[in-house]
Amino acid sequence: MKPLTISDLHLSKLLLLESISGSKAYGLATSSSDTDLRGVFVLPQDDLYGLEQSEQLSNSSNDIVYYELKRFVELLAKNNPNMLELLAVPGDCLLHLHPLFKRLIPELFLSKLCQSTFAGYALTQVKKAKGLNKKIVNPVEPQRKSVLDFCYVTQGQGSVSVQEFLTQLGTDQEACGLAKMPHMPDLYGLYFQEGTRFKGIVQSDLANDVSLSSIPKGLDPIATMSFNKNGYSTYCKEYKEYWEWVEKRNDARYRNTLSHGKNYDAKNLMHTFRLLDMAEEIARTNQIVVRRPNRDFLLKIRAGEFEYDQLVEMAEERIAKMDSLYASSDLPDKPDVEQINQVLVSMRRDFYTAYLA
């Protein structure tokens, strides 16, 4: 059986909804904004009964995505923000609307789950913004540090790096040996003796730990060395995360982040405030407002007209008030799944009846 494709949805008239979504639906698009399309379709009846049941169809860039009716309703029942927005698409963004789709009204789905799905997601965006800010302000050098960069020897009342110490001594790490100091974690005796072969402090630049040697009986250490193993482990994790981020980051957005000079992902924080606005509106009015009335304020955030710390503080203050706002809301705790299921069954039955007529 041939897999269902996006073209099939149009040719076979399987669409219930097709709309422009994202920044253009919110009224927050700029000249560089892409056009995102979202839609809802019904599986051909034979596919519903057979092995091929496509829950979602998309293009390679995921800026065009269509959800099968069952999957769409499942996500609505979980109060997924992206799905709920499709129940209140602005008229100028609607490309196709089947009469049956109108049975999926917001009142069926809106509940106090929106606190976690809208405001909770906004909180993750704040944390993401903090992480990005750290990456921009504190970039990680391409040259990866080694274990030796986290090793120090005592000198007088202080310490110097083991590499500086070895330079003073006129030798290199390969000529030295290490032995653990009893009862003193991550502290080692550092040994050197002309003509004696040791294993070195590390086996190679890629080693993740120090190397221990057999020490001749009666030989005294030339110094006490510490290896900051926790510091090295943290560095390795940050190095990996940073360069994976560099590899995967959206360069256009990153250049925009640098251009406004505020060192934060302005688009990310703009959508953080949009989500907070929508979370508050749903709690107070039981309505989904997609086209943002405070467009100018949100676009100022995107343009980098606010300081990073100021935006994070504002967002965290609003998130902190969300508990009391939802506690006083008359929204149900959860959607009525039985009622939703009845609507889903009636939509599918009526669609197939008309489709096969």
Q: Which domain holds residue 198?
A: 147-233
In whole angstroms, give the CA distance from residue 1 to residue 206. 51
Is there a single domain that holds both residue 16 and residue 100? Answer: yes
Name the packing angle between helices 266-285 and 308-320 (round to 10°).
20
Single out the residue in 168, 199, 233 at which a domain terminates: 233
pLDDT of residue 258: 46
Domain harbouring 85, CATH code: 3.30.460
Mean pLDDT for the stretch of residues 176-197: 94
Single out the residue in 202, 233, 264 at which a domain terminates: 233
What pLDDT digit, counting tens, does each position of 189-232 carry?
Answer: 999 999 899 999 999 888 999 999 999 999 999 999 999 999 99
pLDDT of residue 354: 86
Whether the CA torsion 68, 69, 70, 73 is positive or negative: it is positive
Is there a single domain that holds both residue 135 and residue 284? Answer: yes
- Tokens representing 40 are 């809802």
Specify the higher pLDDT residue, 1 or 133.
Answer: 1
In whole angstroms, give the CA distance from residue 133 to residue 339. 45
pLDDT of residue 312: 86
The share of the chain scoring above pLDDT 90, in percent, equals: 68
Specify the higher pLDDT residue, 123 or 357.
Answer: 123
pLDDT of residue 261: 47
Q: Indicate the residue type of 278.
A: M
- Tokens representing 171 are 């030798």
What pLDDT digit, counting tens, does each position of 71-113 carry?
Answer: 999 999 999 999 999 999 999 999 999 999 999 999 999 999 9
Least confident residue range of 86-90, 139-143, 331-335: 139-143
pLDDT of 133 above 80: no
Mean pLDDT for the stretch of residues 50-72: 90
Let me know if residue 245 belongs to a domain: no
pLDDT of residue 191: 97
Mean pLDDT for the stretch of residues 171-191: 95
Q: 286 near 107, Cβ under 8 Å?
A: yes
Query: What is the DSSP-derived secondary structure letter of residue 293?
Result: T
Mean pLDDT for the stretch of residues 36-59: 88
Give the CA-trace dihedral at 245, 251, 255, 257, to 10 degrees: -50
Is there a single domain that holds both residue 157 and residue 123? Answer: no
pLDDT of residue 47: 81
Is there a single domain that holds both residue 121 and residue 256? Answer: yes
Buried residues in 105-114 as b, exposed as e (16+ CB within 10 A): eeebbbbbbb
In whole angstroms, give the CA distance from residue 283 to residue 323. 10
pLDDT of 129 above 90: no
Is there a single domain that holds both residue 115 and residue 62? Answer: no
pLDDT of 143 above 60: yes
What pLDDT digit, counting tens, does each position of 249-262 carry?
Answer: 655 555 554 445 45
Q: 201 near 209, Cβ under 8 Å?
A: no
Single out the residue in 233, 264, 290 at which a domain terminates: 233
Residue 44's contacts (CB-CB under 8 Å, 6 or more residues apart) are: 4, 12, 14
Helix ranges restricted to H, the chain:
6-11, 23-26, 45-49, 69-77, 81-85, 114, 120-137, 162-169, 229-248, 251-259, 266-285, 295-302, 308-320, 322-327, 337-356
Whether the CA torsion 263, 265, 270, 272 is positive or negative: it is negative
Averaged confidence pLDDT in the chain: 89
pLDDT of 245 above 90: no
What would the 3-class secondary structure string for 70-133 be? HHHHHHHHCCCHHHHHHHHCCHHHEEEECHHHHHCCHHHCCCCCHHHHHHHHHHHHHHHHHHHH
